[in-house]
Amino acid sequence: MKLGVIFPQTEIGTDPAVIKDYAQTAEDLGYDYLLAYDHVLGANPDRPGGWTGPYTYKSSFHEPFVLFGYLAGLTQKIELVTGVIILPQRQTALVAKQAAAVDVLSGGRLRLGVGLGWNKVEFEALGEEFGDRGKRIEEQVVLLRQLWTNELITFNGDNHTITDAGLNPLPVQRPIPIWFGGSADAALRRMARLGDGWLPIRYLPDDNFKAVLAKLHGYLEEEGRNPKEFDLVPWINMADHPANEWAKLVEAWGKLGVTHLGINTMKAGLASPQAHIEVIKRFKAVVGD
């Protein structure tokens, strides 16, 4: 099981030196991957008509592809994971280009986590439809893989048209692995058909998770796929679990066949970026390799 850190997007601040120190410390500690959230815009809760959501315009988010381009040159081994890029609100060919660029600059260390998104404000601002995002993401994933594995493609879909064109440079990984977020039945069926792994957010290694996992395994088998070859990428929220629970949680996740497990230090009352670094040091000391 690989261990990772959840990049503290909303709490790390904007000092490039601090971001560099965090990523290099995670790599030096032996973490296998760094995962970063994605949001392009934050809304004003006091806007006409009101608005509610876990993030606002005061929540800081570094753009993942730009962030990973920066970190690609500062690290050597740690994998870079988007968790998750809101794919339907972005132009597919541009995402393919950005992801390929990060993969090239990092020497093949990108894992592209994708999801549907929930924030209509972002879709509106980026000029994309919100209501059909589930249907569009499926075509997007098919198109991404074609763009990453062929010098030239011709593609005629419901939402995309490419005529005899292609990316250059192509990524190191052909194709780049795609992990899906979400846990609704439609999302599970979609990732079973199209995904390389699942990012289960806000789950514990309990009977509820086991039931969802069994359903996913069933869908994978229906698609003729081996569940043991499908990545599972949950994480532990430090805000919910003190240090004396970490080792037991890691063991429990391991028994469920989890391939990757991260530690999320956000929303835990940490006062500084250095405090986040101290926690990932402590987590590695507690759980080891």
CATH number at residue 219: 3.20.20.30
User: What pLDDT, on a 0 to 100 scale, did the predictor assign at position 274?
Assistant: 97
Half-sphere exposure of 211 (CA within 13 A, CB side): 5
Question: For the chain, what is the domain count?
Answer: 1
Domain that holds residue 164: 2-287
Q: Which amino acid is at 95?
A: V
Angle at CA of residue 184, ends 180 and 185, nearest 5°: 100
Chunked into runs of 10 residues, the chain (289 residues) has average pLDDT values of 97 98 98 97 92 92 98 98 97 98 98 95 96 96 98 97 98 98 95 97 93 97 97 96 94 96 96 97 90
Nearest CA to 183 out of 220, 209, 221 is that of 209
Question: Tokens in use for 166?
Answer: 């292609």
User: What pLDDT, on a 0 to 100 scale, did the predictor assign at position 52?
Assistant: 87
CB atoms under 10 Å from CB of 215, counted, come to: 15
Q: For residue 11, which phi and psi values (nearest 5 degrees)?
A: -130, -10
Nearest CA to 89 out of 44, 49, 140 is that of 140
Q: What is the pTM of this model?
A: 0.96
The Cα–Cα gap between 253 and 16 comes to 34
Q: Do 178 and 114 meet the contact criterion of CB atoms below 8 Å apart?
A: yes
Q: How far is CA 16 from the centre of its chain?
A: 21
User: What pLDDT, on a 0 to 100 scale, did the predictor assign at position 51?
Assistant: 86
